[in-house]
Structures are given as C-alpha cells and as structure tokens.
Amino acid sequence: MSVAIGTEARSTERRPSARRRSASFAIPLLIAVLAVAAIVALSFGAAGIPLSRLPAALGLSGESTAMTARDQLVLWSIRVPRIAAAAMVGGLLAAAGAIMQGLFRNPLADPALVGVSSGGALAAASAIVFTDSRFGETLRFLQTELLPLAAFAGSLATTAILYGISSRSGRTSIAVFLLAGVAITAIANAGIGLLVFIADDRQLRDITFWLLGSMSGVTWTKDAVLAPVLIIGLGACAFIARGLDLLVLGEADAFHGGVDVERLKRISIVMVSAMTGVAVSISGVIGFVGIVVPHLLRLVIGPAHRLLLPASVLSGAILMVGADTLARTIVAPAEMPIGILTAAVGAPVFLFILLRQRGLASL
Amino acid sequence: MSAVIEARGLSKRAGRATLLDGVGLTVAAGEMVAIIGPNGAGKSTLLRLLSGDLRPNEGAVRLKQRDISSYTPRELAARRAMLSQHINVTFPFTVEEIVLMGAGERSARDAGSLVDAALDEVGLAHFRERQLPTLSGGEQQRAHFARVLVQLAFGEAEHGPGLLLLDEPTSSLDLRHQIDLVEAARRRAASGTAVIAILHDLNLAIRFADRLVVLAGGKLAADGPRADVVTREIIRDIFEIDAVVHQGDDGVPYVLPQSMRAMVPPR
C-alpha cells in the first residue's frame, strides 16, 4: 500500500499544504480580530460609551454635545491609552514566551519560569516598601515613576545574573540557565515574602495588587515606553526566526546548518528580558500568556517562527485586550486584577499541555 | 584530486581525559572514508572537530584550503554538511519543513525541486506533510538525511565539491534503507563530494568506503584501503574479538566473528 501512495505523491504537482494555506490567512485575520476587540473594549467600562456614540467621541463625525465632551475625556485620557497598553503588554509577553520556548526547545518554557518576572516583582515590591518608609511623604510622588523603572531594572539584573551563571567561555548552557532560573525565582519569592512581612497594611495592598497584575492607571507615558520596545522587538523577531527554527534540531545541528548559535542565544536572552521586563514594569506580573498563546498557535499555523512570532504578538494583544475588558467590567465599578483571570484560564491549559506531553513521551 | 579536508595532529582533551591524541586525516574530493573503532575510541570527537563544531587543543583543520575556524557558521554550512546521530525535534514541524531547513534562507519555491528530489531519494515523498515527531526513528533519520542532502546540494552549486559527514547514519535504519543511504552517499562521492562516515557495521563499512580509518584509544590505529585494514590481526587488536575475513564472490572481503561462524551451517 505504501508503494502505491508513494508513486501517487510523486506524480502530483507541488501544492501548498493545508497548514501553509491557513497560515497565509493568519496575520490579516488576527489584525481584524484585534481591531474588533479594541472597538468593543473602547465601548465597555465603568463609564459606558455605546457603539453609536463612538464615532463622535473618536472625532470621526462632526457632532459635538456635552455628552461627546465627556466621552472624549474618558476615551482619550483613560481608555485608549489603557487598551493600547493592554495590547502591547499582551504582545510582548506572548512573543517573549514564544522566543524562550524556541530557545529551550520546550513548549513549557516561560519568562516567569526562569525568574525574570520574579526579579522584576522583587524590585518593584522593594520600591513600594522602601520609598515609603525611608523617605516618607517627600518622595511618595516618585513612586509612580520609580515602580516601572525598578521592575525593569530587576528583570534585566536577573537576566544578567542568569547569563553570568549559565555562560562559560562563550557557551551558554540551557539546562544550567533553566535550573539557575528556578533557584533565582525561589530567592526572589523569599525576598518578596520578607517585604510582605515588614510592609504595613497600605503597602501590603499595593504589593498584592501589583503582584496580581493590573492595567489600571496606565497613562500615555507608559505607552511611550512600551511602543519602542515592541517595534524593536518585532524587527528582531524577523532577524532570529530562521535561527530559532533550526535550533529545534539542537545546538550542534543548528550550527551545522549555518546558524551562529551563540549569537542567536545572546540576542534571544536579551530580547526576552527586555520584553518581559518592560511588560512587567507596566502591568505587574501577568502569567501564562507566554505559554498559552504560542502553544495554541503552533497547533493551527505550525511551529515556524517567521509566522509564529508576529502571530503571537497579535494573539497576545487580542487575549490581553479581552481579559482587561473583562477585568474592568465583571465587578464594575471595582476592578478584578487581570492576573487572576489569565491564571484561571492559563493554568488549566498549562496542565493540558503537560498531560499531552506525557502521553507522547510514554508512547 | 585536491584535498577537501586536511587535519593534522589533532588532540582534544576534556578535563584530564584525552579524547583524541595526535590524529591526522586527509580526504580528497570524490573519496569515501569510513571511520571504525570500538566505543570511546574518539570517532565522534574526530567528526565534530572536522565539522568545526569543536576546536582542537592541538593541531589544525583546513577545509578547502582554509583554516576551518576562519569560516563563519554560514560559510561553513555552504561547504560541509553533517548528519548527527540523535536529533530530537520537539515542535510539530512537518517533514517538508525540516528538509527545507537545509535550504538556508531560500524560499520554499526556490528550493522546491531539490527538496522534492531529496524526499524521493530517501523514500519519504508520501510523508512530506506528516509531522516529524509522529514518525519512527528510522523515518526521522531519513528526513534529516534529506535535509543534509539539500544543504550539500545548495552549497556545492555555489562552492564546488563539499564535505559530507555522517555520524552512524545507519544506526536506526532497516537493512534496505541502510543500503539506500550508502548508495546515496556513493552517488555524492561520484560527483566529487568528500564523504566521511562513522560506521559500526564492519561489513557495511567495507562495502561503503574506498578507505578505512581505524581509531582506538584516541589514536589513529590504521588508515588505508580496505584490503590492508580488514585483517584478522587488526580486528583482534582493535575490537578484541576473533573474526575470519572471507573474500566475497565479487572480490570484496567480509568479516565473520568466530562465535557467529559457529552458527552458520557448513556448505
């Protein structure tokens, strides 16, 4: 039978595979879904703006009433910057996850797993506790600016330490990197625990809220931090895509195939820490986006990184805009921390992947 | 014929252990060389030094008249291709996508006919859209061989005869596909490629190669035409087994270990 199939395949013309056909639709489709999600998100919130009033509020039609002025204030000073930030944070987290999985050749790898997020969280919690008690009211105002900077610095420092531990004479050991990450996560969590212990009630609430992740309080300033990182990141994604594909063969065989493996690893590690660090600094710790999005995409469009990385950015953006809209509305006028939502959906998917992998391994 | 690869006085140490000690090897364009030797003899280390993957502690490797460390990874990939022994692909790439990886930055359209030819040559054309991790070990090995053939073909189109390195390429293949792989390598040698393979099956090595290189304890124990190397004495010294060397009907020798000969019924 196999012989018959073989001769049949030989005689057919080259045609794009089913996966490649679905892949060619992926990017335009995801852009369209993101646009719809953003419009819906604009309309929902503590102060609702019906879809019929959206064009006027966005300045697309000439009408101008007192209602329009209120709508415009809500939209441009609160909702648009927030939705833009949610989209960019989701895109950064999903892309960082996809890159790290390619680097580790493991669909369960995630920046949160190697302590990059925890390092940022520890630095942010330190900022909350120490700026408050050491400098008192005089420096309170700095906290808004200090918090993202501290988280970013913490993520970068964690990555630098990780890289220092796992890199010897120009070679980076992925296994050491992963295990060192587990240890650093534990150290960072111990530090956070200590801070929680010494924090007063109000600080504790700040820390907790930030650790759970939230998009509230996002301003245009924060968007201005996110946008360049995302744009540079997307450019770098195109640059490393083929290398990450070949890395699936293992480091030696990627090298045999012409990849400068050490350079690829250095660029990927810096990208992952910058993307995660900036995202964490804006939104706090939001887990599982980096694992769930790339995994689901691989099932549909395949694992090739040239498509997977940009598709991850778009899908991560859609997921986060949707999750943030839910977070803003289900307990309105209060807000649900967004990290609770992503963990509630993400953790079961993580377990599902784990079980499927075990199934494969036992075959 | 000019030397494609030239290694002199290669030594490689890992900690206190000496993996390879003063080994030299020159392989010309169109030549087929099999490396044989017991486990731990340094065969894989030698191949990784020849591929540029490892750097020697002493000695030097010259590929196409240039020091191998002076090439960038991409330049190197256009001049030598290597098939490793165990490759574990975790993501669901299809067979076609894996083979296409041998084509470098070229698009699927530009590389299509070579990918087709390579898939045909390893007998996997009907599996092109299957996900690699769902195939058997031998089928995966053949898909990787097709990828390596595509890489070699593109490199040779630009830079002339290249180097093909095979690390135990037949270890997970059935008998028919072992022969197929050896013949595919022979065709490359016939068109000028220098081929070096590590093989454990002495009889396959004899059929495969013009020349046999024997490694033992990290040192070069023998290097020459098969008739000189495949002798009862050398097999006893290197592999520590007693074996009888017969002449086949076609003049090619074959090796029969003693304990197995006892099981063959008398003619």
A102 lies in some domain: yes
**Tokens matching residue A189:** 């969590």
Whether A322 has its CB under 8 Å from any CB of chain B: the answer is: no
Distance CA A105, CA B205 (A): 34
Whether B176 has its CB under 8 Å from any CB of chain A: the answer is: no
A344 lies in some domain: yes
Higher pLDDT, A165 or B36: B36
Tell me the C-alpha to C-alpha distance, in Å, between residue B257 and each of A45, B36, B73, B243.
82, 16, 43, 4
Higher pLDDT, A270 or A38: A38
Q: Is the peptide bond before A228 cis (omega within 30 degrees of 0)?
A: no
For residue B48, the chain A residues in CB contact (below 8 A) are 252
Q: Which of B49, B54, B91, B120 to mutate to test the interface with A (most CBs of A within 10 A)?
A: B91
| Lowest-confidence pick of A32-36, A132-136, B84-88 | A132-136
A28 lies in some domain: no
- The pLDDT value recorded for residue A361 is 44
Residue A9 has pLDDT above 50, yes or no: no
- The pLDDT value recorded for residue B198 is 94
A188 lies in some domain: yes
For residue A4, the chain B residues in CB contact (below 8 A) are none
Give me the mean pLDDT over the B146-162 stretch. 95
Concatenate the DSSP letters of all residues of B56-79 into one string.
Answer: -SEEEEEETTEEGGGS-HHHHHTT
Distance from CA of B77 to the nearest CA of A (A): 5
A128 lies in some domain: yes
Give the model's confidence band at A304: pLDDT under 50 very low, under 70 low, under 90 confident, else very high: very high
Helix axes A220-247, A305-329, angle to 10 degrees: 140
Higher pLDDT, A280 or A83: A83
- The pLDDT value recorded for residue A99 is 93
| Lowest-confidence pick of A177-186, B44-53, B71-80, B89-98 | A177-186
Residue B51 has pLDDT above 70, yes or no: yes
Give the model's confidence band at B142: pLDDT under 50 very low, under 70 low, under 90 confident, else very high: very high
Q: Is the CB of A105 less than 8 angstroms away from the CB of B82? A: no
Mapped onto helix, strand or coil, the DSSP state of residue A239 is helix
| Lowest-confidence pick of A124-138, A209-223, B2-16, B146-160 | A124-138
| Lowest-confidence pick of A106-110, A326-330, B130-134 | A106-110
Mapped onto helix, strand or coil, the DSSP state of residue B219 is strand
Render pLDDT for A210-239 as a digit per residue (tens, 0 to 9): 788 878 778 888 888 889 989 999 999 999
Distance CA B12, CA B19 (A): 5
Q: Are strands B58-63 and B66-67 parallel, antiparallel or unpaired?
A: antiparallel
Give me the mean pLDDT over the B218-231 stretch. 88
- The pLDDT value recorded for residue A143 is 60
Q: What average pLDDT is seen over chain A?
A: 81
| Lowest-confidence pick of A173-182, B34-43, B207-216, B224-233 | A173-182
Distance CA A123, CA A191 (A): 9
Give the model's confidence band at B263: pLDDT under 50 very low, under 70 low, under 90 confident, else very high: low
* CA dihedral for A202, A204, A209, A210, sign (positive or negative): positive
Cross-chain CB nearest to B104 (options A252, A258, A299): A258
A7-16, A332-341, B165-174 — which one is most confidently predicted on average?
B165-174
Give the model's confidence band at A10: pLDDT under 50 very low, under 70 low, under 90 confident, else very high: very low
Higher pLDDT, A217 or A195: A195
Higher pLDDT, A132 or A120: A120
For residue A105, the chain B residues in CB contact (below 8 A) are 90-91
Distance from CA of A267 to the nearest CA of B (A): 16
Give the model's confidence band at A19: pLDDT under 50 very low, under 70 low, under 90 confident, else very high: low
Q: Where are the domains of chain B?
A: 85-161
Render pLDDT for A285-302 as a digit per residue (tens, 0 to 9): 888 888 889 988 998 899
Whether A9 has its CB under 8 Å from any CB of chain B: the answer is: yes
Query: What is the CB-side half-sphere exposure of residue B61 using CA atoms within 13 A?
Result: 28
Q: How far apart are the first and last CA of chain B?
A: 44
Q: Which of A5, A7, A253, A356 to mutate to test the interface with B (most CBs of B within 10 A)?
A: A253
Give me the mean pLDDT over the B81-99 stretch. 91
A231 lies in some domain: yes
Q: Report pTM.
A: 0.86
Rounded to 5°, the CA angle A313-A315-A319 comes to: 115
CATH of the domain at A321: 1.10.3470.10
Q: Is the CB of A248 less than 8 angstroms away from the CB of B91? A: yes
**Number of domains, chain A:** 1
Residue A238 lies in domain: 80-356
Phi-psi region of A110 (alpha: psi -120 to 50; beta: other; left: phi over 0): beta
- CB–CB contacts below 8 A, A to B: 90
Distance CA B208, CA B201 (A): 10
Residue B262 has pLDDT above 60, yes or no: no
Whether B239 has its CB under 8 Å from any CB of chain A: the answer is: no
Q: Is the CB of A17 less than 8 angstroms away from the CB of B74? A: no
A218 lies in some domain: yes
Residue A340 has pLDDT above 60, yes or no: yes
Higher pLDDT, A66 or A155: A155
Cross-chain CB nearest to A258 (options B73, B92, B93): B73
Residues contacting A281, CB < 8 A, separation 6+: A120, A124, A147, A148, A149, A150, A151, A152, A155, A225
- The pLDDT value recorded for residue B260 is 55
